[in-house]
Structure 1
Amino acid sequence: MRLVFAGTPEPAVPSLRRLIESDKHEVVAVVTRPDAVRGRGRKVTRSPIGQLADEHGIPVFTPRKPSEPDFVEALTELAPDCCPVVAYGALLPERVLDIPRHGWINLHFSLLPAWRGAAPVQAAILAGDEYTGASTFRIEKGLDTGPVFGTLTEKIAISDTSGTLLERLAESGAHLLESTLDGVESGVVQAVPQSMDGISYAPKVEQEDGQLRWDQPALAIARRSRAVTPAPGAWTEFEGMRLKLGPVEMVEESLPERAIDVRKTGVYIGTATTAVRLTQVQPPGKRMMPALDWARGARLAPGAVVA
């Protein structure tokens, strides 16, 4: 099939790469979000999907909105058979959805109808789900409501962050997306309407969602720290500064809420239940470092607490 691939961030790269290498399909163009300021250097750069397309000489479209007349006209002229989508990051208007004869097929990183929305992997970890997965479905007007072609499951490890889990799902999901497109082309795969039971939503994770609340149980704090790693990152306040934190680990010992205890074995903070151990700390203007290195440099006073 003639494909126009839509995607933006790194998790979409395995899918585009696999379709470029496919013997059954031809990626005739790519749609991605406009170049933006990214990274510590704050330079205007192409999205990961745009960069991969450039490397293979594939035309790239970067409309600010997919409803722009010039983009709609260009897509119509390309006459794609299907438009696969992975984390594109913009809503598609109905007139654009109607252009490819097989529609737009999205790879979504959850077991639909669970965790519809922008941050399904973070939501699954935060909720303490034992399993998650990926689904391919036909995009329609509603938010991730379209009929499903196929799914895969993935166990969530106790040490998983959203970064490590999404990395695995991006690779396995690329296989699922390719097999879905193969099946759509041959006519052997049919989309099935989503169940009306088990619907849940995963809104975009904002920076404020990374704040760890020490009056919560250690389990909830640990889950949140893993869910927001690597982005937007877990954090807490200490002496008027915002400290970025790596994932925290639960321990069996207890400490008063918010109390910091520095030992040879690590840096511990009290919660509503048992304490947690910090793994890494990033003070303002510095790089992430082992928690003990931070504590030694900070020269914490007796009775120090986090906010």
Structure 2
Amino acid sequence: MRIIFAGTPEVSVPTLRALVTAGHDVCAVLTRPDAPLGRKRILTPSPVATAALELGIPLVRAARVDAAISAELALFTADLGVVVAYGGLLPQSALNATDHGWINLHFSDLPKWRGAAPVQWSIISGDQEIGTTVFSLVSELDAGDIFSTSRSPIGPDETAGELLARLSISGAAQVCDVVESLSLGTAHAVPQSGHVTLARKMSLDDAHVLCEAPADVVYAQMRGVTPEPGAFVELAGERLKIHRAALSSEAPTLTPGHIEFQAKRVWLGTQTQSLELLQVQPAGKSRMTATDWFRGLHTQESVVIS
């Protein structure tokens, strides 16, 4: 099929490459504009833009798809549009720009976790299983008919970043299967059914670790916001980012919010057992092991977060 692909982050790239490998004519790629990254704020192409340039596919960069962008997309006379995490809504004018509309790969078992951050909220909420859904894009948020759903367990220690990376690979194959069935005329979509839940965009407040909760809840929160926006606690008015932690059967019982160094390991107290801190990043410094960070405090006492 002749396809317009829309996507921006790294998790979109496997599907783009899989469509090209499968022999489809990806005639254009819609992605977000270059963004300033790093301390020097250097304008950097999105991962999808980088892949498209490598593959020799024409790029359309847009932060917002308006009538002009929709008209530009229509000039490609594509059969189908495919979306994976573009990062913006497509208006009806854009949906009409291809002969057979658009399909979308969403990282949840729709209608559960419609919205911007389904994997993050699934982990935070303690879900044991997650789905990937390929559905027909409509103007209402993530509400179109479903062509394909696949489910897999969530690993007990998987972070949102790790889970997204895994699902992006399996989801790419799922998209290709749906595109193939559409090209053969054998595709069948069914309306969504069940309870709708929303996965709103993550904020920095969602990453502020709440140690008054039980350990499993705190650990789920940490995993769900890793790597973005990144779990953190506040210590002496500064942010201490937590890159990696762990549940342990050897955990001592500490007062919630207290961090202690015991048996050469660093522990963070919660409402129940404490969590072991493995890798942290103090404000203005590089990430380091939690033990190196605590030794650098030059204190034998526990420290208390705010």
Instruction: Please give the TM-score of this superposition, normalised by the length of structure 2.
Output: 0.96
- 1:138 maps to 136
- 1:44 maps to 43
How many Å apart are 1:238 and its aligned residue? 0.7
- 2:279 maps to 280
- 1:239 maps to 236
Pairwise mapping of residues 117-156 of structure 1 onto structure 2 (< 5 A)? 117-156=115-154
How many Å apart are 1:303 and its aligned residue? 4.1
Percentage identity across paired residues of the two chains: 41
Partner of residue 171 from structure 2, selected from 170, 173, 178 = 173
How many Å apart are 1:302 and its aligned residue? 2.0
Query: In 2, Cα distance between the equivalents of 1:99 and 1:30?
Result: 13
Contact between 1:15 and 1:175, CA under 8 Å: does it hold in 2? yes
- 1:112 and 2:110 correspond: yes
Q: Which amino acid aligns with 1:3?
A: I
- 1:74 and 2:59 correspond: no
How many Å apart are 1:77 and its aligned residue? 1.6
How many Å apart are 1:301 and its aligned residue? 5.1
- 1:194 maps to 192
How many corresponding residue pairs? 304
Pairwise mapping of residues 195-210 of structure 1 onto structure 2 (< 5 A)? 195=193, 197-210=194-207
Q: Which amino acid aligns with 2:12?
A: A
How many Å apart are 1:247 and its aligned residue? 3.1
- 1:257 maps to 256
Contact between 2:124 and 2:217, CA under 8 Å: does it hold in 1? yes
Over 3 Å counting, the alpha-carbon distance change for 1:305 and 1:159 in structure 2 is: same
SS in 2 for 1:298: coil
Q: Which amino acid aligns with 2:213?
A: Q
SS in 1 for 2:167: helix
- 1:4 maps to 4
Instruction: List gaps (5 residues or longer) in structure 2.
Output: none
- 2:213 maps to 216
Pairwise mapping of residues 261-272 of structure 1 onto structure 2 (< 5 A)? 261-272=260-271
Query: In 1, Cα distance between the equivalents of 2:103 and 2:302?
Result: 56
Over 3 Å counting, the alpha-carbon distance change for 1:280 and 1:192 in structure 2 is: same
How many Å apart are 1:240 and its aligned residue? 1.3
RMSD between superposed Cα atoms in Å: 1.2
More strand by share: 2
Pairwise mapping of residues 284-303 of structure 1 onto structure 2 (< 5 A)? 284-300=283-299, 302-303=301-302
How many Å apart are 1:148 and its aligned residue? 0.4
Contact between 1:8 and 1:50, CA under 8 Å: does it hold in 2? yes
Contact between 1:6 and 1:83, CA under 8 Å: does it hold in 2? yes
Contact between 2:261 and 2:302, CA under 8 Å: does it hold in 1? no
Q: Which amino acid aligns with 1:88?
A: Y
Q: Which amino acid aligns with 2:20?
A: I
Partner of residue 91 from structure 1, selected from 54, 74, 89 = 89
How many Å apart are 1:39 and its aligned residue? 3.2
The superposition leaves residues 12-35 of structure 1 with CA deviations (integer Å, 9 ceiling, x where unpaired) of 000001111122x10001000011
Contact between 1:222 and 1:247, CA under 8 Å: does it hold in 2? no
Contact between 2:244 and 2:280, CA under 8 Å: does it hold in 1? no
The superposition leaves residues 128-171 of structure 1 with CA deviations (integer Å, 9 ceiling, x where unpaired) of 11110200001101110000000111110101000111111000
Q: Structure 1 residues 251-260 or 150-159, which shifts more? A: 251-260
Query: In 2, Cα distance between the equivalents of 1:65 and 1:230?
Result: 26
Contact between 1:3 and 1:29, CA under 8 Å: does it hold in 2? yes
- 2:156 maps to 158
- 1:228 maps to 225
The superposition leaves residues 232-263 of structure 1 with CA deviations (integer Å, 9 ceiling, x where unpaired) of 11000111111000232223431112122102
Query: In 2, Cα distance between the equivalents of 1:67 and 1:303?
Result: 55
Query: In 2, Cα distance between the equivalents of 1:62 and 1:113?
Result: 30
Contact between 1:261 and 1:268, CA under 8 Å: does it hold in 2? yes
Contact between 2:15 and 2:173, CA under 8 Å: does it hold in 1? yes
Q: Which amino acid aligns with 1:210?
A: A
- 1:17 maps to 17
How many Å apart are 1:100 and its aligned residue? 1.1
Query: In 2, Cα distance between the equivalents of 1:216 and 1:239?
Result: 21
